[in-house]
Amino acid sequence: MTATIVLDPTNDLVEQAKRVLPGGSLGNMPAEVILREGKAGRVWDEAGREYVDFLLGSGPMFIGHAHPEVTAAVQAQVPLGTTLFGNNRHGIALAEAVVDAIPCADQVRFVCTGTEADLYAMRAARAFRRRDKILKFEGGYHGMSDYALMSLAPKKPGNFPRPSPDSAGIPKSVQDEMLVAAFNDLEMTESLIKEHKNELAGVIVEPFQRLIPPAPGFLQGLRRITAEHGIPLIFDEVVTGFRFAYGGAQEYYGVTPDLCTLGKIVGGGFALAAIAGRADIMAHFDKLEVPEEDFLFQVGTLSGNPVAAVAGLATLEVLKRPGTYEQVFATGRTLMAALSDLLENAGIKAQVIGEPPLFDVVFTDHPIRDYRDTLRGDKAMATRFNQLLRARGLMKGESKYYVSLAHTQADIDLTIAAWTEAIAELKG
């Protein structure tokens, strides 16, 4: 009997990728991670290996991969045209859905990426205030623009409020336009806002910073001090929008900003993001509503295209159904509790942080309140743990477990079994 030889195409693809892509990747995951397909809460790589998927395309696939209702909506639209540049009824309907859902949203402007949304939100605040400086928080991720890549992940954090660039190619002058504070430090933030109130155009914050929940009263205090000085508060909800609640983190935490940015879930897995907010600020996108010098010029070839819009609308229809968020939160709570118990029983110094739809483990027993606290975590152990998990059929990024509506009890059971084995090996 001749043994069947199964050829793994991954090696050839990795070599091909290394020839044509810098670093052999699209810039997101390691070169050897080449995924072929996704269905519900699972993905398969090019070798046919199956994984429980906690990557979820970096978050957009909140209701699962290839959801039949999203797929049907897209398939119905594609023969009618994929992009039209002019207005289309689906983009208008999606804007209406966002206005209905998001507390701060009077109007919406669509773009294609979270980076664009955050960049334009900061620009809108500058146009509105006629000031230049933006205050952000160390460790906060707001996309890939020059302004956003200030103190996202500084290796050697400097002195507040001076930021440090995270990438080559950023003009030194950008440092002069950004101020940086510590997340969850309301005293520091309030002091900086008071000191620079006449220079500040706005404050941008992830209401849930990467994996770190806001401390009690932090967002409320931030809302109070910005409102007191008439400074627009921007919530970056590219990750949290429609994930923590149908109305986003602003509904979940009970704090309404002046502007917010949305992405990931709102496009149903297609390239779509948005800026939403107060009508008087959003008016700067309309040249008929503001003086010429205050007009914010914005054009995007694919912005609000009908394919992405119908995918977003179909996704939001699913999310509006009773029990949706209760199911996601129940799954997340079960997973977080199981991982915490396994680590504690193994005697490993670690803590599971985040919220049920989005969490991870940090290998330290030190409290985590801001970016600098995360630096205390054992990164080598975290990397090793992720490697052990991938070998056991779990797909996740460097950080974050994204929980989806599509994750089943079988997915939970497989995940806990993988954790159990990996933690035993990690301890040994």
The DSSP code for 267 is G
- The residues, any chain, with a CB within 8 Å of residue 419's CB and separated by 6 or more, are 338, 339, 342, 389
* CA terminus-to-terminus distance, the chain: 40
- Indicate which residue of 120, 141, 371, 402 is catalytic: 141
Cβ neighbourhood burial of 315 (10 Å; 0-12, 13-18, 19+): buried
Give the residues across from 273 on adjacent strands. Answer: 111
Tokens of 109: 């402007």
Please confirm, yes or no, whether 253 is among the known catalytic residues.
Answer: no
Tokens 């996601």, located at residue: 328
Say how many C-beta atoms besides its own lie within 10 A of residue 183's C-beta.
24
Please confirm, yes or no, whether 141 is among the known catalytic residues.
Answer: yes
Cβ neighbourhood burial of 307 (10 Å; 0-12, 13-18, 19+): buried
Q: What is the 3-state secondary structure (H, E, C) of 276-308?
A: EECHHHHHHHCCCCCCHHHCCCCCCCCCCCHHH
Strand locations in 219-370, DSSP E?
233-237, 259-262, 273-277, 351-355, 358-362
What is the H or E stretch that residue 325 is in?
helix 324-345
Please confirm, yes or no, whether 371 is among the known catalytic residues.
Answer: no
Cβ neighbourhood burial of 121 (10 Å; 0-12, 13-18, 19+): buried
- Indicate which residue of 264, 401, 402, 411 is catalytic: 264
Are the C-beta atoms of residues 326 and 246 closer than 8 Å to each other? Answer: no
Tokens 């509506």, located at residue: 405
Say how many C-beta atoms besides its own lie within 10 A of residue 357's C-beta.
25
- The residues, any chain, with a CB within 8 Å of residue 291's CB and separated by 6 or more, are none
Say how many C-beta atoms besides its own lie within 10 A of residue 69's C-beta.
15
Say how many C-beta atoms besides its own lie within 10 A of residue 226's C-beta.
24
- Indicate which residue of 236, 360, 370, 373 is catalytic: 236
Tokens of 414: 């497989």
Distance in angstroms (rounded) separating the CA atoms of residues 276 and 99: 8
Choose among 320, 211, 212, 302: nearest CA to 265: 320
Give catalytic residues, as residue numbers.
141, 236, 264
